[in-house]
Copies of this chain bind each other. A is one copy, B any other.
Amino acid sequence: MNVGFIGLGHMGIEMARNLLKAGHSVAVYNRTRGKAEALASAGARLVGNVGEACHNDVVISMLADDDAVAVIAFGEGKAIAELPVNAIHVSMSTISVALSDRLAEAHRGAGQTFIAAPVFGRPEAAAAAKLYIVAAGDGKAIERCQPLFDAMGQKTFRVGLKPSEANLVKLSGNFLIASIIESLGEAFALVRKAGVDPQRYLEILTGTLLSAPVFKTYGGLIVDEKYEQAGFKMSRGLKDIRLALAAAETLAVPLPVASLVRDHFLAGIAQGRGDSDWSYLAGLSARNAGL
């Protein structure tokens, strides 16, 4: 399939590489050209602007935040103007429900199709084509894109016909992970202050009811107090919680745990830890407990 790929960050570069491996023809664009060049040897066509990346059946965007996506869609890049009629824009970034709704409307108005397909997984999962993809939007368009999803992920989950449902699922998922980190951090502060061995405590948790990867991953970081090599930064955590809270506010849904986690992200950032891993939420709990 002829695909444009916009955004070659930690995640995007691995995803584009997997599309190439699967035999797709991929035109890549990144604001800073260096990253795109790294893919040339893998067979990517390098293009000089968003518009060229859009001259394909499908264009995938994988960017850092709402602002970056809005720029390529409505701003200088003007993906919407350049994309052919009947072509598909697949937004795999973690963006707001509001922007997703706005993109869906704009593409529909231009005779194009918009799909949201955000992903769960860290860069290593992206490299191993082990992402989980949550896709929403027109069913036929998703089917057309399925070979692309299969090249990048281990499984695609489909939700509703409204693309922003997928964004909401992604944001709510990140809220759940953040809330688990927060609760784990509080529990570890409690048992550590009582003298319980934290490693043993983690073995008990993960050896009984809490056996999911999320407990092993974040429990391990908390036991080791390894907050500096960020897999996902506090500032990014704050961004996603903010987007979840904004979507919830529009729907009039109170999310008290999300509010609490947001305040803790802010406290961490205020204390200079915006670039620490978001598991530093547990570091804050330890600090608040005088540990």
- Given A165-B196, A210-B212, A247 contacting B190 (CB threshold 8 A): yes
Does A184 sit within 8 A of B, measured CB to CB? yes
The reply to whether B191 and A169 contact each other, CB–CB distance below 8 Å, is yes
| A176 contact set on B, CB distance < 8 A | 183-184, 187, 205, 210
Does A35 sit within 8 A of B, measured CB to CB? no
- Given A132-B208, A212-B211, A270 contacting B244 (CB threshold 8 A): no
Does A34 sit within 8 A of B, measured CB to CB? no
The reply to whether A183 and B180 contact each other, CB–CB distance below 8 Å, is yes
Does A193 sit within 8 A of B, measured CB to CB? yes
Supplied contacts A165-B194, A173-B204, 6 more A-B pairs, CB within 8 Å: A162-B195, A190-B247, A190-B255, A212-B214, A254-B264, A254-B289
The complex is assembled from copies of this chain, and their number is: 4
**CA gap between A269 and B289 in the complex, in Å:** 9
Looking at the assembled complex, report how far the CB atom of A215 sits from the nearest CB atom of chain B, in whole angstroms.
7
Total interface residues on A, CB under 8 Å, equals: 77
Stretch at the interface among A40-48, A59-67, A152-160, A223-231: A152-160
**Which residue on chain B has the smallest CB distance to residue A252?**
B270
The reply to whether B257 and A186 contact each other, CB–CB distance below 8 Å, is yes
The reply to whether B254 and A266 contact each other, CB–CB distance below 8 Å, is yes
| A114 contact set on B, CB distance < 8 A | none
Does A22 sit within 8 A of B, measured CB to CB? no
Among B132, B194, B210, B272, the residue within 8 A (CB) of A214 is B210
Looking at the assembled complex, report how far the CB atom of A288 sits from the nearest CB atom of chain B, in whole angstroms.
4
| A290 contact set on B, CB distance < 8 A | 252, 270-272
Among B155, B173, B254, B264, the residue within 8 A (CB) of A205 is B173
| A189 contact set on B, CB distance < 8 A | 253, 255
Does A182 sit within 8 A of B, measured CB to CB? yes
Looking at the assembled complex, report how far the CB atom of A130 sits from the nearest CB atom of chain B, in whole angstroms.
11
The reply to whether B255 and A267 contact each other, CB–CB distance below 8 Å, is no
**Which residue on chain B has the smallest CB distance to residue A255?**
B186
**Which residue on chain B has the smallest CB distance to residue A213?**
B209
**Which residue on chain B has the smallest CB distance to residue A259?**
B259
The reply to whether B288 and A254 contact each other, CB–CB distance below 8 Å, is yes
Q: Which residues of chain A (238-291) have a CB below 8 Å from chain B?
A: 238, 242, 244, 247-249, 251-260, 262-264, 266-267, 269-272, 285, 288-290
Does A91 sit within 8 A of B, measured CB to CB? no
